[in-house]
A and B are shown apart, each in its own frame.
Chain A
Amino acid sequence: MDTQVSPVVDPPTPASRGGPGARPPAVSRVALAAALLLPPRLTPESVRYDRRYRTVDRYRFVCWFLAPPLLIYTVLVIWPFLQAFFYAMTDWTGFGGEFSMVWSGNFSRMWRDDAFWDALANSLVLLVLAPVITLALGLFFAYMLNAGGRHRRSESVGGVRGAAFYKIVYFLPQVLSVAIIAIVWARVFSPRSGLVNTGLEAVGLGSLAQDNWLGGSWARWVILLVLCWSFVGFYVVLFSAAMAAVPRDIYEAALLDGAGRAATFFRVTFPLTWDTVRTGWIYMGIQALDAFALVIVMVPRGGFDVLPTYLYLKAFREGQAGYATAVGVVLFLITLVFTLVMMRVGRRDRIEF
């Protein structure tokens, strides 16, 4: 896989294609280059029978297949990403074309912006807690499903009965739109007709009911709960697959050595699935840094922000596109640092089995 021109360029030996004497006249490079733009059917025969045509044909195919995706991707993805780093240094409002460079001005303004720090704190709480809770629950359930059942004959470890059913049910939130999940949970936590408050009253704990779950200090924990809820099933399925890949004889050996379930989990299952756990951790952290839809639907009147919703507010409500982009850059840096740290911290020798 080198980046050089492909080695398939044919040697310029005079070869005869249509038998001796029938060799077509050599065509110019211009004609060959022009053939890049024509479909094979419309390419003149003189060009098609040229020895160099095969390379042209390959390049034509590669160009035509790459151009449309590359065009869309460059214009709509790469270009905005690059622009973001530029606009982050301007005081652009988003209305009209004029702006001036403020260089690091947006970042020093952020430093003094209490609302930004609130949003950052909320995002960081989610970033730290959501993966820990979700992955712990996911591992626990996955282990129960795979090794929590009673021992059967001829089996060292057995899953609980109905493991397939549990997996189907647990995974369900993952297929729903996050907007729908947000609405459902906003209703569950609704002060008057929600499940939580009426449920608490029904069991005599009415004093714990809150007038405003989705405002004030509770919002952060409700968002955390919903975030974890929607991903636990995903990790149960992911970890189940990883655990199923651990060979049975390792479990048998551990069992023969007298290891209980807890020891088996911490000494065998967890180390052997660590790679998947770590990848899942990074993925969940990225999801936790998003949380945009949950917050914007469940707390529509504001008062609780995470970085993405703060960015949205600044850019599309308050006309501070430059400042909002700078918030986006901070979000990107946090994602990057988190990913790098996780890849570094969790690295250990891969265990082959």
Chain B
Amino acid sequence: MTATASPGTADGPRPAPQGPAPRHRPGAGGGRSEGGVLNVFAHSFLIIWVVMAVGPVLWIVLSSLKPTGDITGSPFGLPTGVEWENFTTAWTEASVGRYALNSVIVLAFSLTGTMLLGAMAAYVIARYEFFGNRAVHYLFIGGLMFPVFLALVPLYFVMDNLGLLNTRPGLVLVYIGYSLPFTIFFLTAFFRTLPGAVHEAATIDGASHTRIFFQIMLPMAKPGLVSIGIFNFLGHWNQFVLPRVLNNADEENFVLPQGLASLMVQQGSYDANWGALYAGLTIAMLPILVVYLSFQRQVQAGLTAGALK
């Protein structure tokens, strides 16, 4: 998606001493200096934003290595000594380890469920004609229009009545439910683009509908599944509002963003252990950053797909 943005940038340092080719530059003299000034201008803004974007995150990571005295005493300085203890405190005493485990468990089920159920519904909607096809499609897509806050209060009581409030399965089901509209919207469009001839061939060979779906259509839809999978992965892993409302009873069950937020609020003004909090943040950020840097093109494509609804 972004690979072709600027084919000329990957060339590496090329001084181009001859200057720009004259045939492209009708007003050569003035244009040259304009380009130069703009270049300096552009680059300085671009670099300022690099500092803006990375600065706060880098500051937290560096500070997580500092003893608490350094953190409050000289917030700007480099760490005087590396304090690994922050990380052990964060992992055990501040229960970041526990929160991370909760997040992993919830994510494992919610992501699998969303992808499976979303793909099933999208496939049927995209490729089968049946009574109410269009109604079901619009029902799912309609969910994209509503802010989750509208449903929040009734949802809380629905969950309570079903006995799912403050339980892990409940959280998983809610994640799935609220991810379905976009997942189905995206995958329906994707399944429609797949060629129908393969489907027909498989039918003639005697494959059942279920078998065609799992063994032929799903593998063919892999690029779409990867994009929407990344989208949902980050969405579920980073989810804050839903657990905050529906999983707020027992601190033992907090998921990572929720746990970190409560850790932050718990820090008093005088007995704060900022080192542990920063270490907790670092623990939470690092895996995501590693995933992002390894798959950055897919991640960018997956997430920006979200804006095209």
Chain A: residues with CB nearer than 8 A to chain B? Answer: 1-8, 40, 57-59, 61-62, 65-66, 68-70, 72-73, 75-81, 83-84, 87, 94, 137, 140-141, 144-146, 148-156, 158-164, 166-180, 182-188, 192-195, 198-199, 202, 229, 232-234, 237-238, 240-241, 243-244, 252, 255-256, 258, 260-261, 279-280, 283, 286, 289-290, 292-293, 296-297, 300, 307-308, 311-312, 315-316, 321, 324-325, 328-329, 331-332, 335-336, 339
Looking at the complex, which one of B147, B303, B307 makes contact with A279 (CB distance below 8 Å)?
Answer: B307
Contacts of B291 in A (CB 8 A): 175
Shortest Cβ distance from residue A308 to the other chain B in the assembled complex, whole angstroms = 5
Residue in A58, A162, A176, A182 with the greatest tally of chain B CB atoms within 10 Å = A176
Judge whether A258 and B27 touch: CB under 8 Å.
yes
Interchain CA distance A178-B260 in the complex, whole Å: 11
A172/B300 in contact, CB under 8 A: no
A40 B208 Cβ-Cβ under 8 A: yes
Query: Looking across the interface, which residue of chain B has its beta carbon closest to that of A237?
Result: B300
Give residues 259-303 of B contacting A (CB, 8 Å).
260-261, 264-265, 274, 277-278, 281, 284-285, 288-289, 291-293, 296, 299-300, 303
B174, A180: Cβ atoms under 8 Å? no
A297 / chain B contacts, CB cutoff of 8 Å: 261, 264-265
Known contacts A79-B158, A175-B234; decide if A149 and B209 are in contact (CB<8 Å): no
Greatest chain A CB density within 10 A among B132, B152, B173, B209 is at: B152
Having A70-B136, A167-B300, A283-B309, one finds 9 other A-B pairs with CB under 8 Å, namely A7-B129, A61-B209, A73-B140, A77-B178, A84-B150, A150-B35, A164-B10, A293-B240, A316-B156
Check A188/B56 contact, CB under 8 A, given A151-B20, A297-B261, A325-B154: yes
Q: Which residue of B lies closest to A325 (CB)?
A: B153
Q: Does B34 contact A (CB under 8 A)?
A: yes
Question: How distant is B266 from chain A, measured CB to nearest CB, in Å?
Answer: 10
Which chain B residues numbered 14 to 58 have a C-beta less than 8 Å away from chain A? 14, 16, 18, 20-21, 24-27, 31, 34-36, 38-39, 42-43, 45-46, 49-50, 52-57
Interface size, chain B (Cβ < 8 Å): 124
8 Å CB contact of A193 from B60, B72, B256 = B72
B201 contacts the other chain (Cβ, under 8 Å)? no
| A169 & B265 in contact (Cβ 8 Å cutoff) | no
Q: Judge whether A177 and B2 touch: CB under 8 Å.
A: no
Does B204 lie at the interface of the complex (its beta carbon under 8 Å from any beta carbon of A)? no
Is B154's CB under 8 angstroms from A84's CB? yes
Judge if B189 is at the interface, Cβ distance under 8 Å. no
A163–B209 CB distance below 8 A = no
Q: Report chain A residues within 8 Å CB of B194.
A: none
Among B186-223, those with CB < 8 Å from A are 208-210, 213
Q: Which residues of B contact A8 (CB under 8 A)?
A: 129
Q: Is B133 an interface residue (CB 8 A)?
A: yes
Instruction: Tell which of A150, A182, A232 touches B39, judged by Cβ atoms closer than 8 Å.
Output: A150
Select from chain B the residue with minimum beta-carbon distance to A280: B307
Q: Quick one: which of A6, A164, A283 has the most chain B CB within 10 A?
A: A164
17 inter-chain pairs at a CB distance below 8 angstroms, sorted by A residue, are A62-B124, A65-B120, A66-B124, A69-B121, A77-B177, A81-B154, A145-B6, A152-B14, A160-B39, A172-B292, A173-B53, A178-B257, A179-B238, A255-B24, A258-B26, A321-B153, A339-B145
Q: How far is the CB of A40 from chain B (nearest CB, A)?
A: 6
Q: Which residue of B lies closest to A173 (CB)?
A: B53
Q: A66-B124, A159-B6, A311-B149 are in contact. Are A175 and B274 (CB under 8 A)?
A: no
CB neighbours (8 Å) of B35 from chain A are: 150-151
| A residues near B4, Cβ cutoff 8 Å | 244
Nearest Cβ distance between residue B289 and chain A, in whole angstroms? 7
Determine whether the beta carbon of B153 is less than 8 Å from that of A324: yes
Contact indicator B177/A175 (Cβ below 8 Å): no
Known A-B contacts A59-B130, A293-B240; the reply to A286 vs B180 at CB < 8 A is: no
Q: Give the residues in chain B near A234, CB-CB below 8 Å.
A: 303-304, 307
In the complex the two chains form, what is the Cα distance from A2 to B281 in whole Å?
Answer: 52
Q: Is B86 an interface residue (CB 8 A)?
A: no
Is B245 part of the binding interface, using a Cβ–Cβ cutoff of 8 Å? yes
Q: Which residues of chain B have C-beta atoms less than 8 A from A321's C-beta?
A: 153, 157
- A332–B292 CB distance below 8 A: no
B46 x A160 contact (CB < 8 A): yes
Contact partner of B260 among A57, A183, A339, CB < 8 A?
A: A183
Instruction: Kindly state the separation between the CA atoms of A65 and B217 in the bound complex, as whole angstroms.
Output: 14
Q: Knowing A152-B20, A244-B6 are in contact, say whether A178-B39 is a contact too (CB < 8 A).
A: no
Q: Would you call B136 and A76 a contact (CB within 8 A)? A: no
Bound together, the chains give a CA A160 to CA B140 distance in angstroms of 42
Q: Does B247 contact A (CB under 8 A)?
A: no
| Least Cβ–Cβ distance between A322 and chain B, in angstroms | 9
Tell me how far the C-beta of A95 lies from the nearest C-beta in chain B, rounded to whole angstroms.
10
Residues of B within 8 A of A324 (CB): 153
Q: Is B84 an interface residue (CB 8 A)?
A: no
Residues on A with beta carbons closer than 8 Å to the beta carbon of B87? none
A238–B158 contact, CB under 8 A? no
CB of A184 within 8 A of CB of B146, answer no
Q: Select A151's contact among B25, B238, B285, beta carbons within 8 Å.
A: B25
Interface members, chain B 107-156 (any A CB < 8 Å): 117-118, 120-121, 123-125, 128-136, 139-140, 143, 145-147, 149-156
